[in-house]
């Protein structure tokens, strides 16, 4: 009966039920904000139930790099579905997981040899932090169990991930007492194209000097700080940080969940700096935005130490670990990326974003306009009224989701110049309307 009702009204979305019963990210269920019912998505387009078609400027939060409903990715997931959609990973293994792990090991720097699959970015960060703590415990240094990071970071919404996200924007006050207190250095202040001077690292150096005995690892988003402020900083910072971590005997964790798979113009942002962390997290675009999947990679050094200590095992194992559908589509997404000159696409988007957002620079309410790879940011002087601005953007035919003082774009790599022009023009118009 239900299926018949669904067939006759294929696109009806019960918004009243949604408003009264469903939590959307960071929302109230008693005072809900509008959500736009979407019935399908294809290429760079999102089609709303009322028939309006929006150009997607968000890639569903960094993820859908190839656009929606891609025939190659659809095919990968359908053929895997006919083999098995899921199987436990305890005591069993399968081709999609092995193939994907091979790809990840070969794409990332040589020392990163071990792969742990999990379901989401936040969990991949939890896993990375656990690895760092188990590493030192295995070496008999249980006192090295704190994390050091920089301000303006974002690493996810679970507790350990939250503890290393920016303490001001990252809910620390709310969960005060239940969240680990970590060490925070000033956010890197040297901009992407600038060199880094000793002064830029003075704060983190000082913290390492004082606290290295209790610090397991430094965790940082390389080059681009995402949801914590959409800041781009100099790769030189990372070169120095690598040295400092070595010098103070602290592990280095890179969170490439937002930056991975080409977004910054390199396959991984760490390539801008040419250095290798001890542990690295990937997620988001890993499956081309099709399924939720993440991975934490570790060097042999880290893995060997963990497995030599007590209990000699890495203590984690999610139910849906290495889900075959997710692994199969991730492999297809990575192969698809490698099958074309994506570097040129990202460079083309970089130029288009620079040109398209340029008019915002002159506006009185704009503090900064910055572009790196396929990421474009308009930083305003004061926070935007998200609900009102969202509506204006939708009315202009684009899907962009501002937060705080930031209106930002990270389009799918397949976006055409003309679509990007429309997208950036809509953003400029709306920012002008806010004057
Ligand atoms: C989104 C994000 C996360 C969290 O990933 P989820 O899949 O949302 O749990 C962690 N780190 C960074 C850098 C992110 O951008």
Tens-place pLDDT, residues 221-242: 999 999 999 999 999 999 999 9
Sign of CA pseudo-dihedral 307, 313, 314, 317: positive
Q: Which DSSP category does 33 fall into?
A: P
Q: Assess whether 396 carries a catalytic annotation.
A: no
Q: Which CATH number fits domain 75-338: 1.10.8.60, 3.30.300.30, 3.40.1360.10, 3.40.640.10?
A: 3.40.640.10
- pLDDT per position as a tens digit, 30-81: 998 999 999 999 999 999 999 999 999 999 999 999 999 999 999 999 999 9
d(CA 291, CA 324): 10
The domains of the chain are located at: 4-69+341-433, 75-338
Which of 284, 290, 396, 408 is labelled catalytic?
284
Ligand 1 centre to CA of 6 (Å) is 34
Pick from 155, 187, 231 the residue to mutate for probing ligand 1's pocket: most ligand atoms within 8 Å of its CB. Answer: 155
Ligand 1 centre to CA of 121 (Å) is 4
Ligand 1 centre to CA of 122 (Å) is 6
Ligand 1 centre to CA of 51 (Å) is 31
Which of 56, 119, 166, 255 is labelled catalytic?
255
Q: Assess whether 355 carries a catalytic annotation.
A: no
Q: Give yes or no for a contact between 324 and 85, defined as CB atoms under 8 angstroms apart.
A: yes
As a whole number of Å, the CA-based R_g of the chain is: 22
Instruction: Copy the structure tokens of residue 345.
Output: 């696409």
Q: Assess whether 284 carries a catalytic annotation.
A: yes
Closest C-alpha to 348, from 259, 413, 269: 413
Q: Assess whether 408 carries a catalytic annotation.
A: no
Q: Give yes or no for a contact between 65 and 58, defined as CB atoms under 8 angstroms apart.
A: no
Q: Give yes or no for a contact between 263 and 64, defined as CB atoms under 8 angstroms apart.
A: no
Q: Give yes or no for a contact between 400 and 409, defined as CB atoms under 8 angstroms apart.
A: yes
Closest C-alpha to 215, from 143, 152, 296, 281: 143
Residue 11 has a pLDDT of 58
Ligand 1 atom nearest the C-alpha of 120 is 7
Residue 1 has a pLDDT of 40
d(CA 68, CA 45): 8
- Bridge partners of 146, per DSSP, are 215
d(CA 19, CA 32): 6
4-69+341-433 is a CATH 3.90.1150.10 domain: yes
Residue 309 has a pLDDT of 87
Closest C-alpha to 372, from 270, 265, 222: 265
Which of 4, 26, 341, 364 is labelled catalytic?
26
pTM, two decimal places = 0.97
Ligand 1 centre to CA of 255 (Å) is 8
d(CA 175, CA 306): 30
Residue 105 has a pLDDT of 98
Whether cis (ω within 30° of 0) applies to the bond prior to 116 is: no
Ligand 1 pocket (Cβ < 6 Å) reads 120-122, 125, 154-156, 221, 226-227, 255, 257-258, 283-284
State the DSSP string of 319-352. TTTT-HHHHHHHHHHHHHHHTTTHHHHHHHHHHH
Residue segments in the chain with a per-residue pLDDT below the cut of 50: 1-9
């Amino acid at each position: 009966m239900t299926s018949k009702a669904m067939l006759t009204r294929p696109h009806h979305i019960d918004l009243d039920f949604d408003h009264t019963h469903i939590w959307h990210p960071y929302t109230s269920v008693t005072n809900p904000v509008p959500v736009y019912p979407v019935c399908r998505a294809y290429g760079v387009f999102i089609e709303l139930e009322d028939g309006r078609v929006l150009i997607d400027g968000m890639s569903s939060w960094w993820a859908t790099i190839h656009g929606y409903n891609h025939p190659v990715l659809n095919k990968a997931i359908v053929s895997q579905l006919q083999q098995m959609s899921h199987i436990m990973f305890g005591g069993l293994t399968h081709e999609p997981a092995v193939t994907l792990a091979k790809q990840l090991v070969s794409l990332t720097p040589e020392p990163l040899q071990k792969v742990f699959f999990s379901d989401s970015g936040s969990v991949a960060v939890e896993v990375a932090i656990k690895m760092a703590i188990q590493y030192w415990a295995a070496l008999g240094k249980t006192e090295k169990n704190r994390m050091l990071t920089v301000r303006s970071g974002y690493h996810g919404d679970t507790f350990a991930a939250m503890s290393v996200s920016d303490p001001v924007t990252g809910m620390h006050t709310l969960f005060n007492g239940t969240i680990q207190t970590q060490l925070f250095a000033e956010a890197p202040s040297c901009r992407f194209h600038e060199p880094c001077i000793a002064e830029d690292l003075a704060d983190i150096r000082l913290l390492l000097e004082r606290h290295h005995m209790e610090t397991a690892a430094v965790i940082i988003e390389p080059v681009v700080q995402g949801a914590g402020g959409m800041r781009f900083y100099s790769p030189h910072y990372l070169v120095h940080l690598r040295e400092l971590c070595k010098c103070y005997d602290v592990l280095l964790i890179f969170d490439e969940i937002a930056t991975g798979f080409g977004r910054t113009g390199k396959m991984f942002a760490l390539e801008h700096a040419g250095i290798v962390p001890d542990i690295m997290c990937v997620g988001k675009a890993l499956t081309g935005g099709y399924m939720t999947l993440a991975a934490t990679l570790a060097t042999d050094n880290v893995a060997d130490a963990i497995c030599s200590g007590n209990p000699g095992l890495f203590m984690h194992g999610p139910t849906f670990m290495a889900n075959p559908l997710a692994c199969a589509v991730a492999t297809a997404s990575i192969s698809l990326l490698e099958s074309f000159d994506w570097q040129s696409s990202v460079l083309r988007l970089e130029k288009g974003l620079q040109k398209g957002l340029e008019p915002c620079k002159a506006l009185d309410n704009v503090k900064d306009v910055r572009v790196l790879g396929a990421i474009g940011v308009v930083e305003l002087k004061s926070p935007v009224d998200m609900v009102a601005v969202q509506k204006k953007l939708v009315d202009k035919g684009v899907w962009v989701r501002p937060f705080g003082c930031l209106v930002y774009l990270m389009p799918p790599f397949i976006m055409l110049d003309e679509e990007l022009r429309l997208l950036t023009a809509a953003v400029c118009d709306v920012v002008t309307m806010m004057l």
